[in-house]
Amino acid sequence: MKLDDLDPGLNANPALRADPLADATIARIFGPGQPGGPDVATIDLLNGEIARWQLNGDLDGWRAGPGLPPDMAAALEDYVAQARVLPDWADPAAIGRAEALFMDMSMASCTLLFCASLPQCYVIPDLADVLHAAGQLERHTDYRVRATAAMIFPVMMRGGLTTLGGGGVAQAIKVRLIHATIRYLVLRGDVADALVPPRRLPRLAAPAQGGTMVQALYALGWDIDSRGLPCNQEELAYTLLTFNYVFLHGLRRLGLGAKHRDEEAYIHTWNVLGHVLGIERGLMSETMADAAARFAAIQAAARTQPREPDPRPVLAGALVAAMQHYIPPRLLKPFPVLLTRRLVGKDASRDLGLDGRVSLLSRLVFVLGFALVRTIDVCGRLVFPGFSISRLITRILGYNLTVRMLMDQTRPLKLPDALLGEITEAVDTWQNDDRAPRWVNALERRFTGRARAARQG
């Protein structure tokens, strides 16, 4: 059955639309839904094949490996041929500007990933519920953060989307197929079949401690009429906004706002990635104003549908705890919570359970420190145009989080060696800020020296 055979009004609701290409591919691979979900061996075969998608050039004329069942091989080859293509509206010049912005912001970009983009991803209850079931994020937070970074870095590194030696497209089409797999598991079969009434899948007995992701997703239960499809088009478009709009808005909140052309280039670049991820063009924003309105509308609608139990505070709390682990001074440990509050706003902080009490001393240090930093920045730029203490602080925090959580040699990002080496080299160069005076760079090296020594040792 095809979606077009269903209720004509169904496709008007983005919450009831998913990703026809990826969903059809997964349906071809796994076949009809069966109790307990797909065979583990089939999932292992699929994971083994998509692991071969490393660089964009690997996708040219890609062919499935020998020994793969013919139906799976044909499905994956058809998928790669269609999914790897950039849209005809992609602007290489704009993508280049966005790459330059990301590299220029360097460690500040990583701080915004931890304290803004990821927390905002958790605000939508249905997204949080699926993330909770799929990755048990509260127990494996650092792993999930590294998995997210494993897509962001290849996309934003120079040539990530536009060259054969980049890895952005290859990583994105993996993620797209993972989304489709999650939908298949939660819906216990093909998306098209699940949309035929009755459209409610009861929750099953939770798997025992140590159960697999497949078991957790299969048992989750789902009411399509009230929640839409898992990882639907509206939620995918919202997630895209957390990586372009939330990033740019965060820079503004830190007093590091980008130029108007750079902001639009950054939004455009992530829209190109959104196309590769299977997000519909009509759900993308072109400007900050449109993105802000769309972002606020999706969050407001989500707040009218509370979930019990609510997984969001647990996920946000685990993320904050992971960051605090890498901040030794006791007085400064509340800073990730306080910075996240400032970046995401009061409503989202309340959604995430981050509005609890913080020691008065820590709050005073943060508020007064933030005000002092902004004042110094305004005065300092009269002499040094590129001067920014806010930039220095976010770089120091981002460096420590990046090195310790993302680039730790005992658990590196799961990326091709060529890309991992390129990212490591970029991280090493970020210890010097070309826009800052030499004494500021010396101060930054002093505060990041311990993290760098730990990484190199």
How far is the C-alpha of 34 from the C-alpha of 333, rounded, in Å? Answer: 47
Selected residue with higher pLDDT from 417 and 454: 417
Does residue 296 belong to any structural domain of this protein? no
Instruction: Reply yes or no on whether the pLDDT at 411 is more than 60.
Output: no
Q: Which of 60, 243, 111, 390 is nearest to 52 (CA)?
A: 60
Q: Indicate if the alpha-carbon torsion angle 442, 334, 328, 408 is positive or negative.
A: negative
Instruction: Give the 3-state secondary structure of residue 292.
Output: helix
Most confident of 18-27, 113-122, 247-256: 18-27
pLDDT in the model for residue 137: 47
Does residue 381 belong to any structural domain of this protein? yes
Instruction: Reply yes or no on whether the pLDDT at 287 is more than 50.
Output: yes
Residues 50-70 have a mean pLDDT of 92
Structure pTM? 0.86
What would the pLDDT profile of 187-231 be if each residue is shown by its tens digit?
Answer: 999 998 888 887 888 888 776 665 677 888 888 889 998 889 999
Does residue 343 belong to any structural domain of this protein? yes
Residue 268 banded pLDDT, cuts 50, 70, 90: very high
pLDDT in the model for residue 450: 44
Number of alpha carbons in the 13 Å side-chain half-sphere of residue 307:
22
Most confident of 189-203, 245-259, 408-422: 245-259
Residues 6+ apart with CB under 8 A from 114: 145, 319, 323, 336, 398, 401
Q: What is the mean pLDDT of the chain?
A: 82
Span of 20-29, 134-143, 326-335 with lowest mean pLDDT: 134-143
Selected residue with higher pLDDT from 228 and 436: 228
Q: Which stretches within 107-222 are classed as H helix?
A: 107-112, 118-121, 125-135, 141-156, 168-187, 191-194, 213-219
Q: Indicate if the alpha-carbon torsion angle 64, 65, 70, 71 is positive or negative.
A: negative
Selected residue with higher pLDDT from 246 and 398: 246
Does residue 45 belong to any structural domain of this protein? no
Span of 67-81, 185-199, 346-360, 379-393 with lowest mean pLDDT: 379-393
Residues 443-450 have a mean pLDDT of 67
Most confident of 86-95, 180-189, 380-389, 428-437: 86-95
Instruction: Reply yes or no on whether the pLDDT at 147 is more than 60.
Output: yes
Q: List beta partners, residue 222.
A: 201
Residues 83-92 have a mean pLDDT of 97
Instruction: Reply yes or no on whether the pLDDT at 426 is more than 90.
Output: no
What would the pLDDT profile of 155-194 be if each residue is shown by its tens digit?
Answer: 998 899 999 999 999 999 999 999 999 999 999 999 988 8
Domain count, the chain: 1
pLDDT in the model for residue 347: 94
Residues 124-147 have a mean pLDDT of 69
Does residue 26 belong to any structural domain of this protein? no
Q: Are the beta carbons of 161 and 272 closer than 8 angstroms?
A: yes
Residues 145-152 have a mean pLDDT of 78
For residue 414 the two structure tokens come to 């799961």
Does residue 164 belong to any structural domain of this protein? no
pLDDT in the model for residue 143: 66
pLDDT in the model for residue 327: 72
For a pLDDT cut of 70, what percent of the chain falls above it? 80
CB atoms within 10 A of CB 435: 13
For residue 122 the two structure tokens come to 């958790």
pLDDT in the model for residue 39: 85
Quote the domain boundaries for residue 322. 313-456
pLDDT in the model for residue 148: 78
Q: Which of 236, 83, 89, 247 is nearest to 156 (CA)?
A: 247
Does residue 93 belong to any structural domain of this protein? no
Does residue 347 belong to any structural domain of this protein? yes
Residues 327-351 have a mean pLDDT of 83
Instruction: Give the 3-state secondary structure of residue 68.
Output: coil
pLDDT in the model for residue 451: 41
Instruction: Reply yes or no on whether the pLDDT at 380 is more than 90.
Output: no
Instruction: Reply yes or no on whether the pLDDT at 11 is more than 70.
Output: no
pLDDT in the model for residue 236: 95
pLDDT in the model for residue 3: 39
How far is the C-alpha of 11 from the C-alpha of 7, rounded, in Å? Answer: 8
Instruction: Reply yes or no on whether the pLDDT at 58 is more than 60.
Output: yes
Selected residue with higher pLDDT from 424 and 450: 424
Q: Are the beta carbons of 257 and 218 closer than 8 angstroms?
A: no
Residues 72-83 have a mean pLDDT of 97
Span of 54-58, 164-168, 440-444 with lowest mean pLDDT: 440-444
Span of 7-11, 237-241, 245-249, 431-435 with lowest mean pLDDT: 7-11
pLDDT in the model for residue 35: 81
